[in-house]
Chain A
Amino acid sequence: MLFNSLDFAVFLPVVFVLYWLLKKNLKYQNILVLLASYFFYGWWDWRFLSLIVFSTIVDFTIGLALDKTENFRKRKYLLWGSLFANLGILGVFKYFNFFIDNVSSAFSFFGTDWSMSSLNIILPVGISFYTFQTLSYTIDVYKRKLEPTKNIITFAAFVSFFPQLVAGPIERATNLLPQFKKNRHFNYEEATDGIRQILWGLFKKMVIADNCALYANYIFENSASLSGSTQLLGALFFTFQIYGDFSGYSDIAIGTARLFGFNLMQNFAFPYFSRDIAEFWRRWHISLSTWFRDYLYIPLGGSRGGTSMKIRNTFFIFVVSGFWHGASWTFIIWGALNAAYFLPLLLSGKNRQNMDIVAKGKLFPAAKEVLKIVVTFSLTVLAWIFFRVEDTPHAIAIIGDIFSKSIFTIPYYPGLGLAKSTFILLFLFIVIEWFGREHQFAIQNLSKVRSLTLRWVSYSFLAFLIGMYMFTDKSQFIYFDF
Chain B
Amino acid sequence: MKKFLKKLLLFLVITSCFYTLLIGFWGYYVPAPLRRNLIYNPQEGYLDKKLSEIEKFKNVDVVFLGSSHAYRGFDTRIFKNHDISSFNLGSSAQTHIQTKYLLNTYLKNLRPKLVIYEVYPEMFTIDGVESTINIVSATDNINSGILKLLFQTKDIRSLNTALFSLFEPSDSIVINPVFSEEDLYVSGGFVEKKLNYNSEAAVRKEWKPLKKQLAAFKENINFLKSHNIPYLLVQAPYTFEYSNYNRIEKFLSEDGIYYNFNDIVDLSANRDFYDDSHLNQIGVEKFNRELIRIIDSLELLKE
Binding site for B on A (CB under 8 A): 6, 20, 186, 188, 191-192, 195, 417-418, 420-421, 424, 456-457, 459-461, 463-464, 467-470, 472
- List the A side residues contacting B15 at CB < 8 Å: 456, 459-460, 463
**CB–CB B18/A460 < 8 A:** yes
Determine how close the nearest CB of chain B comes to the CB of A314; give it in whole angstroms: 44
- Interface flag for B240 (CB, 8 Å): no
- List the A side residues contacting B33 at CB < 8 Å: 417-418, 420-421
Q: Kindly supply a per-residue 1/0 record for chain B positions 201-233, scoring 1 wherever the CB is within 8 Å of any chain A CB and 0 otherwise.
A: 000000000000000000000000000000000
Listed from nearest, the 7 A-B pairs whose CB atoms lie closest are A460-B18, A460-B15, A464-B22, A186-B1, A420-B33, A421-B34, A469-B36
Partner of A470, one of B7, B34, B156: B156
Partner of B160, one of A424, A456, A463, A468: A468
Q: Which DSSP category, helix, strand, loop or mixed, fits chain A's interface?
A: helix
- List the A side residues contacting B14 at CB < 8 Å: 456, 460
Q: A417-B33, A470-B37 are contacts. A456–B11 as well, Cβ < 8 Å? A: yes
Identify the closest chain A residue to B33 (Cβ).
A420
Q: A464-B18, A467-B156 are contacts. A459–B11 as well, Cβ < 8 Å? A: yes
Q: A456-B11, A463-B15 are contacts. A186–B4 as well, Cβ < 8 Å? A: yes
A186 to B26, CA, bound (A): 39
**CB–CB A468/B11 < 8 A:** no
**CB–CB A424/B37 < 8 A:** no
Identify the closest chain B residue to A6 (Cβ).
B154
**CB–CB B19/A472 < 8 A:** no
Partner of A472, one of B18, B26, B156: B156
- Interface flag for B275 (CB, 8 Å): no
- Interface flag for B279 (CB, 8 Å): no
Determine how close the nearest CB of chain A comes to the CB of B32; give it in whole angstroms: 10
**Interchain Cβ contacts within 8 Å, total number:** 58
Determine how close the nearest CB of chain A comes to the CB of B274; give it in whole angstroms: 24
- Interface flag for B38 (CB, 8 Å): yes
A357 to B64, CA, bound (A): 66
A sample of 7 inter-chain contacts (CB < 8 A) reads: A460-B19, A463-B15, A467-B160, A469-B36, A469-B37, A472-B37, A472-B156
- List the B side residues contacting A417 at CB < 8 Å: 33
- List the B side residues contacting A464 at CB < 8 Å: 18-19, 22-23
List CB contacts (< 8 Å) of B1-59 with chain A. Answer: 1, 3-4, 7-8, 11, 14-15, 18-19, 22-23, 26, 33-38
- List the A side residues contacting B11 at CB < 8 Å: 456, 459
A468 to B154, CA, bound (A): 15
Q: A20-B1, A420-B33 are contacts. A468–B38 as well, Cβ < 8 Å? A: yes
- List the B side residues contacting A418 at CB < 8 Å: 33
Determine how close the nearest CB of chain A comes to the CB of B208; give it in whole angstroms: 15
* Of listed B8, B22, B36, residue having the most chain A CB within 10 A: B36
Identify the closest chain B residue to A417 (Cβ).
B33
> Which bracket fits the contact residues of B?
20 to 34
| Besides the known contacts A460-B18, A463-B19, A469-B36, 10 further A-B residue pairs in the complex with CB atoms under 8 A apart | A456-B11, A460-B14, A460-B15, A461-B22, A463-B15, A467-B159, A467-B160, A468-B22, A472-B129, A472-B155
A172 to B7, CA, bound (A): 34
A266 to B8, CA, bound (A): 25
- Interface flag for B100 (CB, 8 Å): no
Determine how close the nearest CB of chain B comes to the CB of A224; give it in whole angstroms: 24
Determine how close the nearest CB of chain B comes to the CB of A429; give it in whole angstroms: 15
- List the A side residues contacting B154 at CB < 8 Å: 6
Identify the closest chain B residue to A424 (Cβ).
B34
Identify the closest chain A residue to B129 (Cβ).
A472
List CB contacts (< 8 Å) of B38-91 with chain A. Answer: 38
A191 to B3, CA, bound (A): 11
- Interface flag for B157 (CB, 8 Å): yes
**CB–CB B22/A421 < 8 A:** no
Q: A195-B8, A464-B19 are contacts. A188–B37 as well, Cβ < 8 Å? A: no
Identify the closest chain B residue to A421 (Cβ).
B34
**CB–CB B4/A188 < 8 A:** yes
Q: Which DSSP category, helix, strand, loop or mixed, fits chain B's interface?
A: helix
* Of listed B23, B35, B37, B38, residue having the most chain A CB within 10 A: B37
A435 to B145, CA, bound (A): 46
A192 to B225, CA, bound (A): 53
Identify the closest chain B residue to A188 (Cβ).
B4
Determine how close the nearest CB of chain B comes to the CB of A256; give it in whole angstroms: 14
Identify the closest chain B residue to A195 (Cβ).
B8
Q: Kindly supply a per-residue 1/0 record for chain B positions 181-195, scoring 1 wherever the CB is within 8 Å of any chain A CB and 0 otherwise.
A: 000000000000000
Determine how close the nearest CB of chain A comes to the CB of B117; give it in whole angstroms: 29
Identify the closest chain A residue to B11 (Cβ).
A456
- List the A side residues contacting B129 at CB < 8 Å: 472
A460 to B22, CA, bound (A): 10
A104 to B182, CA, bound (A): 59
A470 to B26, CA, bound (A): 15
- List the A side residues contacting B22 at CB < 8 Å: 461, 464, 468
- List the B side residues contacting A460 at CB < 8 Å: 14-15, 18-19
Partner of A191, one of B4, B35, B160: B4
Determine how close the nearest CB of chain B comes to the CB of A445; give it in whole angstroms: 19
**CB–CB A468/B18 < 8 A:** no
- List the A side residues contacting B35 at CB < 8 Å: 468
Determine how close the nearest CB of chain B comes to the CB of A460; give it in whole angstroms: 4
Determine how close the nearest CB of chain A comes to the CB of B9; give it in whole angstroms: 11
* Of listed B4, B8, B11, B157, residue having the most chain A CB within 10 A: B4
Identify the closest chain A residue to B19 (Cβ).
A464
**CB–CB A457/B18 < 8 A:** yes
Determine how close the nearest CB of chain A comes to the CB of B166; give it in whole angstroms: 15
- List the B side residues contacting A424 at CB < 8 Å: 34
- List the B side residues contacting A459 at CB < 8 Å: 11, 15
- List the A side residues contacting B4 at CB < 8 Å: 186, 188, 191-192
- List the A side residues contacting B36 at CB < 8 Å: 421, 468-469
- List the A side residues contacting B37 at CB < 8 Å: 467-470, 472
**CB–CB A467/B19 < 8 A:** yes
Determine how close the nearest CB of chain B comes to the CB of A193; give it in whole angstroms: 11
Determine how close the nearest CB of chain B comes to the CB of A467; give it in whole angstroms: 5
A6 to B150, CA, bound (A): 13
Identify the closest chain A residue to B7 (Cβ).
A192
Determine how close the nearest CB of chain B comes to the CB of A301; give it in whole angstroms: 49
Identify the closest chain B residue to A206 (Cβ).
B156
Determine how close the nearest CB of chain B comes to the CB of A24; give it in whole angstroms: 13
Identify the closest chain A residue to B34 (Cβ).
A421
Identify the closest chain A residue to B30 (Cβ).
A468
Determine how close the nearest CB of chain B comes to the CB of A129; give it in whole angstroms: 29
- List the A side residues contacting B18 at CB < 8 Å: 457, 460-461, 464
